[in-house]
């Protein structure tokens, strides 16, 4: 028999947070909370363990939210003992600062903090105007040396939102430093017409190879040479996210660094004009080059962006809201409400009820059977968040009742799935059978595709005769999607005054920090039992182990000793959005404390 195992957030909890634990195979139906003081453990609280549903494995759940005294604690259940954790008002301050260590360490160019810097000092492009543009700087996004505009801009949106949530002291200065550094790179990528140039970083000698020709590098030093940039547009999410980021950066620097703030707002306005121009070309994105080593599916992750699609509209919505926040100009609010109208019309069933949570999903567009909710990185970081932000900004708007139904349906969908497993885990993505854009490309097949459901019980009856709908917990890169879902839930908790949504935000953080079936933290150096980081032999020397790095989303394959850690790759967006999640937890706790 396997020993009972106590799963709990490895770091701990804010004093008034929801505090839960999960015990696998418990020897008894209650748990004890012990407080550590002067090397002695004292029993302070006893609570029942309750059996819940069993997706993601069997277990019982305990709750000690009622206990809110600061201190050092551990849980015991029969012979099983948890490691020690902390209840404290500052418990997340140091872990949040660790995330910034990853950003510092991933700096590229003439940085003094990058793990490899000075590096890639020859990054540049000669534009068709004859201008030679220096492109040093930015970040290596993940466990390779690429500087994808879409990933870096997504990470920076998370950091900027974290800064706007508050925070102070050393962590704040470090946060602002990354917002300056990353913003500099994004603005270097901006052409004079407002669009961002592209960069797929195919090292010399690999240009022009046929897609699918996956081969190792003959020269593991190849990626250290000058990289390729392209004057053509970066994918649409990179464009929108860069504008969204620059507008938020204006808000951050407006008071203390007005010159920088002005530069940020000018870049945002130029980008907005470019993306909303009347003659914009909506041709599907095609990367100028497909990098070797498993990027065959690259174009598919951007395939949800086209005229009037859910992704396009959701990104315009969030960008308009950020520009409204910066300028207070009503044209941006009006644009946001137009976007919200389109977006809400794409929801399958805004009256989605408890037994049909699939109705909260959104069509990719009026003509497509694909669900917008199927895409990683770019859906949960935009659509639902934009709607809840708009609702809080303009609750008296004539359309607000429509937005309210849409937001409520999404929040209830999160709650419905979270009740199906002992960890309170929300789904990462939803799919329609026969209309799953990610079924075949090699780029995605490593991502635990087999985990879509244990026995078919995740499926729903065919709603529109267009294929049954199902959800996944372990979707590729799921960490950023559940973090964005948690931020959304925190905002929904504030709007609806619904503590249960705030509890799910906390339980998402708990999952990231070790309360999961693997008893493993997704953050290097924070919590315990991390799997080995992704290493692909693509270049040498490889990315070192870096405290504060966040994995794309651990799963069973993460712990395969023969695997390469494809689910444990470090990735910048996860770090930026976890920073936002850390900062966003306190608001709902304070407002909803007495309910």
The smaller minimum CB distance to Zn ion, of residues 96 and 119, is found at 119
3-state secondary structure of 166: coil
CA distances from 16 to 19, 88, 419, 579, 595 (A): 9, 9, 22, 20, 12
Task: Quote the least distance from Cβ 108 to Zn ion, whole Å.
Answer: 3
The smaller minimum CB distance to Zn ion, of residues 120 and 191, is found at 120
The smaller minimum CB distance to Zn ion, of residues 147 and 507, is found at 147
Residue 209: exposure state from Cβ atoms within 10 A (0-12, 13-18, ≥19): middle
Joined tokens for residue 394 = 């303009």
d(CA 100, CA 548): 7
The smaller minimum CB distance to Zn ion, of residues 10 and 533, is found at 533
The smaller minimum CB distance to Zn ion, of residues 108 and 249, is found at 108
Task: Quote the least distance from Cβ 109 to Zn ion, whole Å.
Answer: 6
Give the residue closest to Zn ion by C-beta.
Answer: 108
CA distances from 96 to 92, 132, 226, 570, 581 (A): 6, 38, 33, 16, 10
Task: Quote the least distance from Cβ 482 to Zn ion, whole Å.
Answer: 30
Quick one: CA torsion of 207, 211, 214, 215, rounded to 10 degrees? -20
Joined tokens for residue 593 = 């404390």
Task: Quote the least distance from Cβ 176 to Zn ion, whole Å.
Answer: 22
d(CA 595, CA 89): 20
Q: Which residues bind Zn ion (CB under 5 A)?
A: 108, 119-120
Which helix (H) or strand (E) segment holds residue 445: the answer is none
d(CA 584, CA 167): 10
Task: Quote the least distance from Cβ 119 to Zn ion, whole Å.
Answer: 3
525: region left, alpha or beta (phi > 0 left; psi from -120 to 50 alpha): left
The smaller minimum CB distance to Zn ion, of residues 201 and 509, is found at 201
Three-class secondary structure assignment of 371-385: EHHHCCCCCCCCHHH
Angle formed at CA 115 by CA 111 and CA 117, multiple of 5 degrees: 35
The smaller minimum CB distance to Zn ion, of residues 122 and 308, is found at 122
Task: Quote the least distance from Cβ 116 to Zn ion, whole Å.
Answer: 6
Task: Quote the least distance from Cβ 231 to Zn ion, whole Å.
Answer: 21
Task: Quote the least distance from Cβ 203 to Zn ion, whole Å.
Answer: 12
The smaller minimum CB distance to Zn ion, of residues 121 and 214, is found at 121
């Amino acid at each position: 028999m396997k020993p009972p195992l106590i799963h709990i957030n490895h770091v701990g909890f804010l004093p008034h947070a929801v505090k839960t634990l999960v015990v696998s195979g418990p020897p008894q139906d209650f748990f004890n909370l012990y407080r550590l003081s002067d090397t002695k453990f004292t029993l302070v609280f006893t609570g029942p363990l309750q059996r819940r549903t069993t997706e993601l494995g069997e277990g019982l759940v305990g709750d000690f939210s009622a206990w809110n005294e600061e201190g050092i604690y551990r849980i015991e259940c029969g012979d099983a003992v948890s490691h020690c954790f902390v209840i404290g008002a500052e418990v997340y301050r140091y872990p949040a600062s660790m995330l910034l260590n990853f950003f510092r360490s991933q700096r590229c160019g003439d940085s003094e903090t990058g793990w490899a810097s000075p590096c890639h000092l020859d990054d540049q492009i000669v534009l068709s105007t004859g201008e030679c543009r220096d492109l040093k700087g930015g970040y290596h996004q993940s466990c390779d040396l690429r500087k994808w505009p879409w990933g870096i801009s997504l990470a920076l949106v998370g950091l900027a939102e974290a800064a706007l949530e508050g925070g102070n002291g050393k962590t704040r200065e470090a946060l602002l430093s990354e917002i300056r550094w990353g913003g500099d790179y994004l603005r270097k990528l901006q052409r004079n017409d407002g669009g961002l140039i592209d960069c797929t970083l195919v090292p010399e000698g690999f240009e022009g190879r046929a897609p699918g020709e996956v081969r190792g590098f003959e020269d593991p030093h190849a990626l250290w040479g000058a990289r390729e940039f392209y004057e053509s547009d970066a994918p649409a999410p990179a464009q929108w996210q860069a504008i969204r980021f620059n507008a938020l950066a204006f808000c951050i620097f407006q008071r203390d660094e007005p010159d920088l703030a002005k530069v940020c707002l000018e870049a945002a306005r130029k980008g907005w004009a470019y993306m909303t121009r009347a003659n914009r070309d909506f041709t599907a994105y095609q990367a100028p080059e497909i990098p070797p080593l498993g990027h065959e599916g690259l174009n598919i992750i951007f395939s949800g962006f086209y005229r009037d699609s859910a992704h396009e509209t959701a990104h315009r919505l969030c960008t308009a809201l950020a520009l409204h926040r910066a300028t207070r100009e009503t044209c941006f609010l009006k644009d946001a409400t137009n976007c919200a109208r389109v977006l809400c019309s794409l929801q399958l069933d805004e009256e989605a009820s408890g037994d049909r949570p699939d109705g909260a999903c959104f069509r990719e567009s009026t003509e497509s059977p694909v669900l917008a909710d199927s895409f990683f990185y770019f859906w949960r970081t935009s659509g639902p968040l934009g709607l809840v932000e708009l609702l809080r900004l303009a609750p008296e708007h004539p359309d607000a009742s429509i937005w309210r139904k849409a937001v409520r349906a999404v929040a209830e969908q999160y709650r419905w799935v979270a009740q199906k497993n002992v960890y309170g885990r929300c789904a990462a993505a939803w799919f329609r059978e026969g209309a799953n854009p990610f079924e075949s490309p090699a780029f995605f097949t490593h991502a635990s595709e087999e985990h879509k459901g244990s026995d078919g019980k995740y499926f729903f009856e065919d709603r529109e005769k267009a294929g049954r709908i199902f959800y996944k917990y372990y979707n590729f890169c799921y960490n950023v999607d559940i973090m964005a879902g948690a931020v959304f839930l925190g905002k929904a908790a504030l709007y609806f005054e619904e503590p249960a949504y705030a509890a799910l935000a906390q339980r998402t953080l708990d999952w990231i920090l070790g309360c999961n079936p693997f008893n493993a933290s997704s953050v290097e150096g924070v919590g315990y039992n991390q799997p080995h980081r992704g290493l692909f032999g693509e270049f040498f020397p490889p990315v070192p182990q870096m405290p504060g790095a966040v994995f794309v989303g651990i799963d069973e394959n993460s712990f395969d000793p023969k695997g390469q850690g494809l689910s444990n790759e470090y990735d910048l967006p996860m770090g930026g959005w976890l920073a936002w999640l850390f900062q966003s937890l306190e608001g709902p706790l304070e407002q909803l404390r007495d309910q």
